[in-house]
Amino acid sequence: MKIFVYPGSFDPVTRGHMDIIDRASRICDKLIIAVLVNNAKNPQFSMEERVALLRQALGERPNIEVRSFSGLLIDFMHVCGATTIIKGLRAVSDFEYELQMALLNKQMDPDIETMFMMTAIQWSYLSSSVVRELARNGAPIDPYVPDGTAEAIYAKYGKK
Ligand code: COA
């Protein structure tokens, strides 16, 4: 069974993430979305909130699971029996960090592959921080976040 893991902060999930999720879920038997800790970031949404938003966005999808983990991605891969890390690449600016992560994970376990998918062109400018900034200022976020999640994101900022 081909188990892939799509890791990230998902603070919060965007339509850009959903595009990668849809495409990745078609090329594996099971896709695990891993909400992880990036120590360089101070998340706005708690781990539980980020998982709940992803689950709300996905509904019932038989080969997709959402989980959280507070350790290293490579350890999570072992816990899940997963073989492949899926990451989205938006622009050249993502490349250096992603290359470092992919090489580090390869060094820690040569049997684990990292596969990159180019983010769909219409989401190449999108990021979770853009969504947070819009929501904080009460601007429309519906075009950028999965259906049914905008209200919960606004609520975080006390907006409607
Ligand atoms: N469309 C739109 N936006 C996207 C996107 C896509 N397809 N893919 C990524 N992004 C955005 C995210 O929203 C995020 O935006 P933000 O910076 O404004 O919040 C940004 O790109 C980076 O996203 P992501 O891929 O989720 O990376 P991250 O840096 O938040 O998370 C982890 C990286 C969590 C996977 C990484 O830190 C990790 O593996 N942590 C576990 C500990 C570990 O193993 N560390 C490595 C060894 S030291």
Cβ–Cβ < 8 Å for 10, 37: no
What pLDDT does 160 receive?
Answer: 67
Per-residue model confidence as pLDDT tens digits over 33-78: 999 988 888 999 999 999 999 999 999 999 999 999 999 999 999 9
Per-residue pLDDT band for 13 (boundaries 50, 70, 90) equals: very high
The pTM of this model reads 0.95
Kindly give the distance from the C-alpha atom of residue 4 to the centroid of ligand 1, in angstroms, as a whole number.
16
Distances (CA, A) of 72 to 11, 56, 103, 136, 148: 18, 25, 14, 31, 31
CA atoms within a 13 Å half-sphere pointing along the CA-CB vector of 133: 5
Best CA proximity match to 131, nearest among 100, 105, 154: 154
Q: Is the peptide bond before 12 cis (omega within 30 degrees of 0)?
A: yes
Label residue 107 by pLDDT band (50, 70, 90). very high
Q: Which two tokens stand for residue 31?
A: 């896709």
Task: Please choose, from the candidates 32, 38, 30, 25, the residue with its C-alpha nearest in 3D space to the C-alpha of residue 128.
Answer: 38
Ligand 1 atom 42: the closest Cα is on which residue? 72
Q: Which of 6-15, 77-86, 119-128 has the lowest mean pLDDT?
A: 119-128
Question: Is 67 part of the annotated catalytic residue set?
Answer: no
Cβ of 76 closer than 6 Å to ligand 1, yes or no, is no
**Catalytic-labelled residue, pool 17, 50, 87, 132:** 17
Q: Given a cut of 90, is residue 94 above it in pLDDT? A: no
